[in-house]
Amino acid sequence: MKTIENIEKELITQLRFSKNEVLDSAEAIKKREFDLNRALALGNLLKNKVDITFQDAEQRTYRVHTTIWAVGSDFVCLKADICIPIKSIVEIE
């Protein structure tokens, strides 16, 4: 199992991301989409934070505890115009 490093959201802008999908099944991708939309609703309605686990271009795994402000077709946006490519997201808790 890979080591997961906690990261502050402000440091995400210093990372490089791959264009490749980190998940290996259509079912996992569909679950991630559901979880992202659920987290977006919780963040906007209740100001709840979630843990987003994601990988950078070097396949290092990170976790950030934050509120999701917007979910687009390709990116998740956090506070202060910080974005994470959806294809890089492993899990939302």
- Residue 1's pLDDT is what? 53
pTM of the model: 0.94
Residue 87 has pLDDT above 60, yes or no: yes
Instruction: Supply angle C-alpha 87, 28, 18, rounded to 5.
Output: 20
Is residue 85 predicted with pLDDT exceeding 80?
Answer: yes
Average pLDDT value for the chain: 94
Q: What is the pLDDT of residues 5-40, one digit of tens each?
A: 999 999 999 999 999 999 999 999 999 999 999 999
